[in-house]
Amino acid sequence: MNLQNALDFNKFMGKTHTKPTEGHKVVVSKSSSVPLYSSCLRVLLLSIIFINILSCTQTEPSRSEFALGTVCTITLFDQANPSVYRDVFNRIREIENLMSVNISSSDVYKINENAGIQPVQVHVDTFIVIERAIFFAESSNGAFDPTVGPLVNLWDITGEHPDRGIDKVPSQEKIDEVLPLVNWQDVVLNKEDYSVFLRRQGMALDLGGIAKGFAADEAAFIIEKAGITYAIIDLGGNVIVMGKKPDNTLWKVGLQNPTILDIPFIGIIRTPQNSLVTSGVNERFFIQDGLLYHHIFSPLNGYPVRNRLLSVTIITHNSMSADALSTAVFVLGYEEGMILLESFPGAEAIFVFEDWEIRKTPGIDFELIDESFRMN
Ligand code: FAD
Ligand code: MG
Protein backbone atom coordinates (compact mmCIF):
# COMPACT_ATOMS: atom_id res chain seq x y z
CA MET A 1 0.00 0.00 0.00
CA ASN A 2 1.57 3.31 -0.98
CA LEU A 3 1.35 6.52 0.95
CA GLN A 4 -1.31 7.98 -1.31
CA ASN A 5 -3.57 5.02 -0.68
CA ALA A 6 -2.87 5.20 3.00
CA LEU A 7 -3.84 8.86 3.11
CA ASP A 8 -7.02 8.16 1.22
CA PHE A 9 -7.88 5.50 3.71
CA ASN A 10 -7.04 7.80 6.58
CA LYS A 11 -9.36 10.47 5.22
CA PHE A 12 -12.20 8.12 4.56
CA MET A 13 -12.12 6.24 7.84
CA GLY A 14 -14.04 9.06 9.49
CA LYS A 15 -16.55 9.37 6.63
CA THR A 16 -18.01 5.96 6.01
CA HIS A 17 -20.74 5.27 3.53
CA THR A 18 -23.46 2.80 4.33
CA LYS A 19 -26.97 1.78 3.41
CA PRO A 20 -29.30 1.20 6.36
CA THR A 21 -29.71 -2.55 5.86
CA GLU A 22 -26.07 -3.29 5.27
CA GLY A 23 -23.35 -4.39 7.62
CA HIS A 24 -20.01 -2.74 8.19
CA LYS A 25 -18.86 -0.96 5.07
CA VAL A 26 -15.80 1.19 5.34
CA VAL A 27 -14.71 3.17 2.34
CA VAL A 28 -11.11 2.42 1.52
CA SER A 29 -8.86 2.93 -1.39
CA LYS A 30 -8.62 -0.13 -3.62
CA SER A 31 -5.57 -2.28 -3.23
CA SER A 32 -5.21 -5.91 -4.18
CA SER A 33 -2.36 -6.39 -1.72
CA VAL A 34 -4.29 -5.38 1.34
CA PRO A 35 -5.40 -8.80 2.67
CA LEU A 36 -1.83 -10.14 2.45
CA TYR A 37 -0.54 -7.07 4.22
CA SER A 38 -3.00 -7.64 7.01
CA SER A 39 -1.83 -11.17 7.78
CA CYS A 40 1.86 -10.18 7.77
CA LEU A 41 1.25 -7.35 10.16
CA ARG A 42 0.42 -9.42 13.19
CA VAL A 43 3.64 -11.42 13.08
CA LEU A 44 5.64 -8.23 12.76
CA LEU A 45 3.82 -6.71 15.66
CA LEU A 46 4.64 -9.51 18.05
CA SER A 47 8.24 -9.74 17.00
CA ILE A 48 8.67 -6.07 17.83
CA ILE A 49 7.13 -6.35 21.23
CA PHE A 50 9.02 -9.36 22.46
CA ILE A 51 12.37 -8.81 20.85
CA ASN A 52 14.39 -7.75 23.89
CA ILE A 53 13.19 -10.67 25.96
CA LEU A 54 14.09 -13.16 23.26
CA SER A 55 17.69 -12.05 23.16
CA CYS A 56 18.53 -12.65 26.81
CA THR A 57 16.59 -15.48 28.40
CA GLN A 58 15.20 -17.84 25.85
CA THR A 59 16.73 -21.30 25.75
CA GLU A 60 14.73 -22.59 22.75
CA PRO A 61 13.76 -20.41 19.79
CA SER A 62 10.06 -19.82 19.34
CA ARG A 63 8.23 -22.12 16.95
CA SER A 64 5.66 -21.12 14.38
CA GLU A 65 3.38 -23.49 12.53
CA PHE A 66 0.36 -22.95 10.33
CA ALA A 67 -2.73 -24.33 12.02
CA LEU A 68 -6.34 -23.24 12.64
CA GLY A 69 -6.13 -21.25 9.39
CA THR A 70 -3.46 -18.96 10.83
CA VAL A 71 0.15 -18.72 11.99
CA CYS A 72 0.49 -20.11 15.52
CA THR A 73 3.63 -19.08 17.42
CA ILE A 74 4.71 -20.51 20.76
CA THR A 75 7.61 -18.98 22.67
CA LEU A 76 8.89 -20.80 25.72
CA PHE A 77 11.41 -19.18 28.03
CA ASP A 78 13.31 -20.88 30.81
CA GLN A 79 13.74 -24.67 30.88
CA ALA A 80 12.13 -25.02 27.47
CA ASN A 81 12.25 -28.54 26.14
CA PRO A 82 11.63 -29.29 22.45
CA SER A 83 9.12 -31.96 23.42
CA VAL A 84 6.88 -29.28 24.94
CA TYR A 85 6.64 -27.49 21.59
CA ARG A 86 5.77 -30.81 19.98
CA ASP A 87 3.08 -31.55 22.56
CA VAL A 88 1.53 -28.10 22.20
CA PHE A 89 1.36 -28.24 18.39
CA ASN A 90 0.01 -31.80 18.51
CA ARG A 91 -2.77 -30.62 20.79
CA ILE A 92 -3.55 -27.64 18.52
CA ARG A 93 -3.80 -29.97 15.53
CA GLU A 94 -5.98 -32.37 17.48
CA ILE A 95 -8.39 -29.49 18.20
CA GLU A 96 -8.31 -28.38 14.55
CA ASN A 97 -9.11 -31.94 13.44
CA LEU A 98 -12.13 -31.99 15.74
CA MET A 99 -13.50 -28.50 15.18
CA SER A 100 -12.64 -27.41 11.65
CA VAL A 101 -15.53 -26.86 9.26
CA ASN A 102 -13.26 -27.83 6.38
CA ILE A 103 -12.01 -31.26 7.49
CA SER A 104 -14.49 -33.93 6.48
CA SER A 105 -13.67 -36.21 9.42
CA SER A 106 -14.13 -33.44 12.03
CA ASP A 107 -16.96 -33.42 14.55
CA VAL A 108 -18.17 -30.04 13.33
CA TYR A 109 -18.23 -31.19 9.70
CA LYS A 110 -20.29 -34.25 10.68
CA ILE A 111 -22.68 -32.17 12.80
CA ASN A 112 -23.26 -29.86 9.83
CA GLU A 113 -23.64 -32.75 7.40
CA ASN A 114 -26.33 -34.22 9.64
CA ALA A 115 -28.22 -30.96 10.23
CA GLY A 116 -31.94 -31.68 10.25
CA ILE A 117 -31.24 -35.41 9.98
CA GLN A 118 -29.79 -36.82 13.17
CA PRO A 119 -27.68 -36.04 16.28
CA VAL A 120 -23.95 -36.71 16.08
CA GLN A 121 -21.85 -37.99 18.95
CA VAL A 122 -18.76 -35.85 19.41
CA HIS A 123 -15.50 -35.76 21.36
CA VAL A 124 -15.80 -34.24 24.82
CA ASP A 125 -13.59 -31.28 23.72
CA THR A 126 -15.98 -30.43 20.90
CA PHE A 127 -18.92 -30.73 23.25
CA ILE A 128 -17.32 -28.39 25.80
CA VAL A 129 -16.60 -25.72 23.17
CA ILE A 130 -20.11 -25.90 21.68
CA GLU A 131 -21.66 -25.78 25.15
CA ARG A 132 -19.59 -22.71 25.96
CA ALA A 133 -20.49 -21.14 22.59
CA ILE A 134 -24.18 -21.59 23.42
CA PHE A 135 -23.57 -20.03 26.83
CA PHE A 136 -22.10 -16.93 25.17
CA ALA A 137 -24.92 -16.91 22.60
CA GLU A 138 -27.45 -16.80 25.42
CA SER A 139 -25.46 -14.23 27.44
CA SER A 140 -25.14 -11.91 24.44
CA ASN A 141 -28.75 -12.33 23.38
CA GLY A 142 -27.67 -14.00 20.15
CA ALA A 143 -25.05 -11.43 19.09
CA PHE A 144 -22.52 -14.24 19.35
CA ASP A 145 -24.04 -17.12 17.41
CA PRO A 146 -22.07 -20.30 16.60
CA THR A 147 -24.67 -21.22 13.94
CA VAL A 148 -23.40 -18.37 11.76
CA GLY A 149 -21.99 -21.00 9.31
CA PRO A 150 -24.48 -20.36 6.46
CA LEU A 151 -23.53 -16.65 6.46
CA VAL A 152 -19.81 -17.45 6.57
CA ASN A 153 -20.26 -19.74 3.55
CA LEU A 154 -22.44 -17.31 1.64
CA TRP A 155 -20.15 -14.30 2.08
CA ASP A 156 -16.98 -16.36 1.50
CA ILE A 157 -14.89 -13.51 2.89
CA THR A 158 -11.60 -15.37 2.50
CA GLY A 159 -12.31 -16.32 -1.09
CA GLU A 160 -12.34 -20.09 -0.69
CA HIS A 161 -14.75 -20.28 -3.64
CA PRO A 162 -13.35 -18.08 -6.43
CA ASP A 163 -15.64 -19.88 -8.89
CA ARG A 164 -18.50 -17.73 -7.60
CA GLY A 165 -17.33 -14.82 -9.72
CA ILE A 166 -16.11 -11.28 -9.18
CA ASP A 167 -19.17 -9.83 -7.48
CA LYS A 168 -18.70 -11.27 -4.05
CA VAL A 169 -21.35 -9.31 -2.16
CA PRO A 170 -24.33 -11.65 -2.06
CA SER A 171 -27.77 -10.52 -3.19
CA GLN A 172 -30.35 -9.53 -0.58
CA GLU A 173 -32.41 -12.48 -1.79
CA LYS A 174 -29.63 -14.94 -0.88
CA ILE A 175 -29.05 -13.31 2.50
CA ASP A 176 -32.79 -13.53 3.25
CA GLU A 177 -32.67 -17.19 2.28
CA VAL A 178 -29.90 -18.21 4.71
CA LEU A 179 -30.59 -15.82 7.60
CA PRO A 180 -33.38 -17.94 9.16
CA LEU A 181 -30.86 -20.82 9.42
CA VAL A 182 -28.79 -18.79 11.89
CA ASN A 183 -30.28 -19.50 15.31
CA TRP A 184 -28.36 -20.88 18.29
CA GLN A 185 -31.64 -21.95 19.90
CA ASP A 186 -31.89 -24.69 17.28
CA VAL A 187 -28.77 -26.43 18.60
CA VAL A 188 -29.70 -29.44 20.73
CA LEU A 189 -27.01 -30.60 23.15
CA ASN A 190 -27.32 -33.93 24.94
CA LYS A 191 -24.84 -34.35 27.77
CA GLU A 192 -25.84 -37.98 28.33
CA ASP A 193 -24.14 -39.15 25.14
CA TYR A 194 -22.24 -35.97 24.11
CA SER A 195 -24.34 -35.60 21.00
CA VAL A 196 -25.11 -32.44 19.05
CA PHE A 197 -28.04 -31.89 16.72
CA LEU A 198 -28.89 -28.95 14.49
CA ARG A 199 -32.65 -28.94 14.14
CA ARG A 200 -32.95 -27.73 10.54
CA GLN A 201 -31.35 -28.84 7.30
CA GLY A 202 -28.94 -26.23 5.95
CA MET A 203 -27.87 -25.07 9.42
CA ALA A 204 -24.12 -25.05 10.08
CA LEU A 205 -21.92 -24.51 13.11
CA ASP A 206 -18.82 -22.34 12.78
CA LEU A 207 -16.59 -22.17 15.85
CA GLY A 208 -14.20 -19.62 14.31
CA GLY A 209 -15.15 -17.08 16.99
CA ILE A 210 -14.30 -19.28 19.98
CA ALA A 211 -12.25 -22.44 19.23
CA LYS A 212 -8.90 -20.66 18.88
CA GLY A 213 -9.43 -19.50 22.45
CA PHE A 214 -9.98 -23.07 23.61
CA ALA A 215 -6.81 -24.15 21.78
CA ALA A 216 -4.81 -21.34 23.45
CA ASP A 217 -6.06 -22.38 26.90
CA GLU A 218 -5.10 -25.98 26.18
CA ALA A 219 -1.64 -24.90 25.04
CA ALA A 220 -1.21 -22.92 28.28
CA PHE A 221 -2.26 -25.97 30.29
CA ILE A 222 0.42 -28.15 28.66
CA ILE A 223 3.11 -25.50 29.15
CA GLU A 224 2.19 -25.00 32.79
CA LYS A 225 2.19 -28.75 33.41
CA ALA A 226 5.69 -28.96 31.94
CA GLY A 227 6.85 -26.56 34.65
CA ILE A 228 7.80 -23.76 32.29
CA THR A 229 7.85 -20.50 34.18
CA TYR A 230 6.98 -18.07 31.46
CA ALA A 231 5.82 -18.25 27.88
CA ILE A 232 3.92 -16.53 25.11
CA ILE A 233 1.22 -18.23 23.08
CA ASP A 234 -0.01 -16.50 19.94
CA LEU A 235 -2.61 -18.33 17.89
CA GLY A 236 -3.23 -15.80 15.14
CA GLY A 237 -3.88 -12.94 17.52
CA ASN A 238 -5.27 -14.97 20.43
CA VAL A 239 -2.42 -14.17 22.79
CA ILE A 240 -1.70 -15.59 26.24
CA VAL A 241 1.20 -14.22 28.24
CA MET A 242 2.16 -16.63 31.01
CA GLY A 243 4.06 -16.13 34.23
CA LYS A 244 6.20 -13.14 35.11
CA LYS A 245 9.07 -11.69 33.17
CA PRO A 246 12.49 -12.33 34.78
CA ASP A 247 12.85 -8.71 35.85
CA ASN A 248 9.41 -8.86 37.48
CA THR A 249 7.93 -6.19 35.20
CA LEU A 250 4.60 -6.63 33.41
CA TRP A 251 4.31 -8.10 29.92
CA LYS A 252 4.03 -5.55 27.14
CA VAL A 253 1.69 -6.42 24.30
CA GLY A 254 1.08 -4.17 21.30
CA LEU A 255 -2.48 -3.20 20.46
CA GLN A 256 -2.71 -3.84 16.76
CA ASN A 257 -3.74 -1.03 14.46
CA PRO A 258 -7.10 -2.17 13.00
CA THR A 259 -6.87 0.25 10.08
CA ILE A 260 -4.75 -1.03 7.23
CA LEU A 261 -2.20 1.73 7.33
CA ASP A 262 1.50 0.98 7.56
CA ILE A 263 1.55 1.65 11.30
CA PRO A 264 1.64 -1.70 13.03
CA PHE A 265 0.42 -0.81 16.47
CA ILE A 266 -1.44 1.89 18.29
CA GLY A 267 -0.12 1.50 21.79
CA ILE A 268 1.12 -0.82 24.48
CA ILE A 269 -0.88 -2.84 26.99
CA ARG A 270 0.96 -3.73 30.18
CA THR A 271 -0.48 -6.78 31.83
CA PRO A 272 0.34 -9.61 34.22
CA GLN A 273 -0.41 -13.22 33.15
CA ASN A 274 -3.49 -12.90 30.97
CA SER A 275 -5.29 -13.68 27.72
CA LEU A 276 -5.68 -10.96 25.11
CA VAL A 277 -7.96 -11.46 22.13
CA THR A 278 -8.92 -8.98 19.42
CA SER A 279 -11.81 -9.08 16.98
CA GLY A 280 -11.44 -6.59 14.19
CA VAL A 281 -12.46 -5.63 10.68
CA ASN A 282 -8.86 -6.02 9.49
CA GLU A 283 -8.53 -9.74 10.31
CA ARG A 284 -10.34 -11.01 7.24
CA PHE A 285 -12.06 -8.96 4.59
CA PHE A 286 -12.51 -8.24 0.93
CA ILE A 287 -12.93 -4.98 -0.87
CA GLN A 288 -15.50 -4.41 -3.56
CA ASP A 289 -16.17 -1.07 -5.24
CA GLY A 290 -14.01 0.65 -2.65
CA LEU A 291 -15.99 -0.80 0.23
CA LEU A 292 -14.63 -3.13 2.86
CA TYR A 293 -16.62 -6.24 3.87
CA HIS A 294 -15.29 -8.10 6.91
CA HIS A 295 -15.88 -11.45 8.58
CA ILE A 296 -17.93 -10.69 11.72
CA PHE A 297 -21.62 -10.94 10.89
CA SER A 298 -24.74 -9.56 12.44
CA PRO A 299 -27.11 -12.49 13.05
CA LEU A 300 -29.90 -9.89 12.83
CA ASN A 301 -29.41 -8.65 9.26
CA GLY A 302 -26.86 -11.05 7.77
CA TYR A 303 -24.28 -8.35 6.86
CA PRO A 304 -20.83 -7.65 8.28
CA VAL A 305 -21.45 -5.70 11.49
CA ARG A 306 -21.36 -1.93 11.12
CA ASN A 307 -21.47 0.04 14.36
CA ARG A 308 -18.50 2.49 14.25
CA LEU A 309 -16.14 -0.10 15.75
CA LEU A 310 -12.96 -1.20 14.03
CA SER A 311 -11.81 -3.56 16.76
CA VAL A 312 -12.50 -4.81 20.25
CA THR A 313 -9.77 -6.29 22.42
CA ILE A 314 -10.72 -8.30 25.50
CA ILE A 315 -8.27 -9.04 28.29
CA THR A 316 -9.18 -11.66 30.84
CA HIS A 317 -7.91 -14.84 32.47
CA ASN A 318 -9.38 -17.34 30.05
CA SER A 319 -8.69 -17.28 26.31
CA MET A 320 -11.90 -19.06 25.28
CA SER A 321 -13.98 -16.45 27.16
CA ALA A 322 -11.88 -13.61 25.76
CA ASP A 323 -12.34 -15.00 22.24
CA ALA A 324 -16.13 -15.34 22.46
CA LEU A 325 -16.47 -12.00 24.28
CA SER A 326 -14.39 -10.10 21.73
CA THR A 327 -16.68 -11.31 18.95
CA ALA A 328 -19.86 -10.81 21.00
CA VAL A 329 -18.92 -7.30 22.14
CA PHE A 330 -17.89 -6.35 18.60
CA VAL A 331 -21.32 -7.41 17.33
CA LEU A 332 -23.17 -5.66 20.16
CA GLY A 333 -21.29 -2.38 19.78
CA TYR A 334 -19.88 -0.15 22.50
CA GLU A 335 -22.91 0.58 24.72
CA GLU A 336 -24.48 -2.89 24.76
CA GLY A 337 -21.03 -4.49 24.79
CA MET A 338 -20.15 -2.62 27.98
CA ILE A 339 -23.37 -3.89 29.58
CA LEU A 340 -22.45 -7.47 28.63
CA LEU A 341 -18.97 -7.03 30.12
CA GLU A 342 -20.48 -6.06 33.49
CA SER A 343 -21.54 -9.69 33.92
CA PHE A 344 -17.93 -10.87 33.42
CA PRO A 345 -15.93 -9.52 36.36
CA GLY A 346 -12.24 -9.27 35.56
CA ALA A 347 -12.83 -8.81 31.83
CA GLU A 348 -11.38 -5.57 30.46
CA ALA A 349 -11.77 -4.11 26.98
CA ILE A 350 -10.23 -1.66 24.54
CA PHE A 351 -12.43 -0.30 21.75
CA VAL A 352 -11.09 1.30 18.57
CA PHE A 353 -13.60 3.33 16.58
CA GLU A 354 -13.84 4.35 12.92
CA ASP A 355 -13.05 7.95 13.77
CA TRP A 356 -9.79 6.83 15.45
CA GLU A 357 -11.13 7.28 18.94
CA ILE A 358 -10.09 4.77 21.60
CA ARG A 359 -12.02 3.91 24.73
CA LYS A 360 -11.04 1.45 27.42
CA THR A 361 -12.32 0.01 30.66
CA PRO A 362 -10.61 1.38 33.79
CA GLY A 363 -8.65 -1.76 34.71
CA ILE A 364 -6.29 -1.68 31.71
CA ASP A 365 -2.83 -0.18 31.73
CA PHE A 366 -2.66 1.14 28.16
CA GLU A 367 -0.15 3.61 26.75
CA LEU A 368 -1.09 5.31 23.48
CA ILE A 369 1.88 5.45 21.09
CA ASP A 370 0.33 6.50 17.79
CA GLU A 371 -0.98 10.00 18.24
CA SER A 372 -3.22 9.87 15.17
CA PHE A 373 -5.55 8.08 17.56
CA ARG A 374 -7.05 9.78 20.58
CA MET A 375 -8.13 8.41 23.93
CA ASN A 376 -11.56 9.20 25.27
P1 FAD B 1 -13.11 -13.59 15.84
O2 FAD B 1 -13.75 -12.26 15.99
O3 FAD B 1 -12.72 -14.28 17.06
O4 FAD B 1 -14.18 -14.52 15.13
C5 FAD B 1 -14.74 -14.20 13.89
C6 FAD B 1 -15.09 -15.48 13.25
O7 FAD B 1 -16.19 -16.05 13.96
C8 FAD B 1 -15.54 -15.32 11.82
O9 FAD B 1 -14.46 -15.51 10.93
C10 FAD B 1 -16.58 -16.40 11.71
O11 FAD B 1 -15.95 -17.65 11.52
C12 FAD B 1 -17.22 -16.41 13.08
N13 FAD B 1 -18.30 -15.41 13.26
C14 FAD B 1 -18.67 -14.37 12.46
N15 FAD B 1 -19.71 -13.71 13.00
C16 FAD B 1 -20.00 -14.34 14.16
C17 FAD B 1 -20.98 -14.12 15.17
N18 FAD B 1 -21.88 -13.13 15.09
N19 FAD B 1 -21.00 -14.98 16.22
C20 FAD B 1 -20.10 -16.00 16.33
N21 FAD B 1 -19.16 -16.25 15.42
C22 FAD B 1 -19.10 -15.42 14.35
N23 FAD B 1 -9.33 -20.40 8.36
C24 FAD B 1 -8.99 -20.73 7.10
O25 FAD B 1 -8.85 -19.85 6.27
N26 FAD B 1 -8.79 -22.00 6.73
C27 FAD B 1 -8.97 -23.03 7.61
O28 FAD B 1 -8.76 -24.18 7.24
C29 FAD B 1 -9.35 -22.72 8.95
N30 FAD B 1 -9.53 -23.69 9.87
C31 FAD B 1 -9.90 -23.37 11.14
C32 FAD B 1 -10.13 -24.38 12.08
C33 FAD B 1 -10.51 -24.09 13.36
C34 FAD B 1 -10.75 -25.19 14.34
C35 FAD B 1 -10.64 -22.71 13.76
C36 FAD B 1 -11.03 -22.35 15.17
C37 FAD B 1 -10.41 -21.71 12.85
C38 FAD B 1 -10.06 -22.02 11.54
N39 FAD B 1 -9.84 -21.01 10.60
C40 FAD B 1 -9.52 -21.35 9.30
C41 FAD B 1 -9.97 -19.57 10.96
C42 FAD B 1 -11.43 -19.14 11.07
O43 FAD B 1 -12.03 -19.34 9.85
C44 FAD B 1 -11.61 -17.70 11.49
O45 FAD B 1 -11.19 -16.84 10.47
C46 FAD B 1 -10.88 -17.31 12.67
O47 FAD B 1 -11.11 -18.24 13.69
C48 FAD B 1 -11.35 -15.93 13.06
O49 FAD B 1 -10.72 -15.59 14.23
P50 FAD B 1 -10.50 -14.12 14.64
O51 FAD B 1 -9.83 -14.17 15.95
O52 FAD B 1 -9.88 -13.36 13.55
O53 FAD B 1 -11.97 -13.49 14.76
MG1 MG C 1 -13.57 -14.27 18.92
Give yes or no for residue 301 having a pLDDT over 80: yes
Residue 338 belongs to what domain range?
Answer: 3-81+228-375
Q: Which atom of ligand 1 is nearest to the CA of 236?
A: 51
Say yes or no: CB of residue 211 within 6 Å of ligand 1: yes
Ion ligand 2 nearby residues (CB, 5 A): 209, 323, 326-327
| Residue 365 resides in a domain | yes
pLDDT score at 295: 93
Say yes or no: CB of residue 304 within 6 Å of ligand 1: no
Number of domains in the chain: 1
Say yes or no: CB of residue 283 within 6 Å of ligand 1: yes
pLDDT score at 16: 35
Q: Which atom of ligand 1 is nearest to the CA of 283?
A: 52
pTM value is: 0.87
Q: The dihedral of CA 329, 309, 282, 250: what is its sign?
A: negative
Give yes or no for residue 17 having a pLDDT over 60: no
Q: Which atom of ligand 1 is nearest to the CA of 323?
A: 3
Say yes or no: CB of residue 237 within 6 Å of ligand 1: yes
| Residue 106 resides in a domain | no
What is the average pLDDT score of the chain? 83
Give yes or no for residue 29 having a pLDDT over 80: no
- Residue 227 CA to ligand 1 center (angstroms) comes to 31
The ligand placed nearest to the CA atom of residue 214 is: 1
- Residue 30 CA to ligand 2 center (angstroms) comes to 27
Mean per-residue pLDDT, 282-303: 90
Which segment, 4-8, 161-165, 197-201, 288-292, is predicted with the most confidence on average?
Answer: 197-201
| Residue 321 resides in a domain | yes
Say yes or no: CB of residue 305 within 6 Å of ligand 1: no
> For residue range 332-346, what is the model confidence (pLDDT) as tens digits?
999 999 999 999 999
| Residue 353 resides in a domain | yes
- Residue 32 CA to ligand 2 center (angstroms) comes to 26
- Residue 365 CA to ligand 2 center (angstroms) comes to 22
| Residue 310 resides in a domain | yes
The ligand placed nearest to the CA atom of residue 284 is: 1
| CATH number, position 261 | 3.10.520.10
